[in-house]
Amino acid sequence: MVCLLYGTAHAALGAQYDLTYVVTRLREAWPGVKINFRGDCGLGVPLVYETREQLDVHYSIGIGMNSWLKKRSDSLLERAVEKFEKTGEPQRLFCAF
């Protein structure tokens, strides 16, 4: 879906309505379908979380970088850079905390 928001609008403005519309239409076409929602940190607000829960939609939301995350991910980034320099291949490394 495409939505044009005014310049100072929050990214999540109206997202719960859009999500409800899309999920409803998908489930009308394919009853029982499992829906996975992926979004960036702009969609990580309580109203949108509540909507996803009510609609029984699985989701993963990115979060913006902050000093706490940076401190815990610096060593992983260094490892990725080292591997890239050795192989010339893009790297995707993951961790959890």
User: Which H helix or E strand runs over 73?
Assistant: helix 67-87
Residues 24 and 55 occupy one common structural domain: yes
Structural domain that includes position 82: 67-97
Residues 53 and 85 occupy one common structural domain: no
Q: Write the pLDDT tens digit of every residue in 3-46.
A: 889 999 998 999 999 999 999 999 999 999 999 999 998 898 99
Residues 58 and 74 occupy one common structural domain: no
Is the pLDDT at 64 greater than 90? The verdict is no
Residues 45 and 88 occupy one common structural domain: no
Sequential DSSP letters for 3-50? ----TT--TTTTHHHHHHHHHHHHHHHSTT---EEEE-GGG-SHHHHH
Is the pLDDT at 96 greater than 90? The verdict is no
pLDDT at residue number 1: 74
- As a whole number, the mean pLDDT across the chain is 93
Q: pTM surpassing 0.75?
A: no
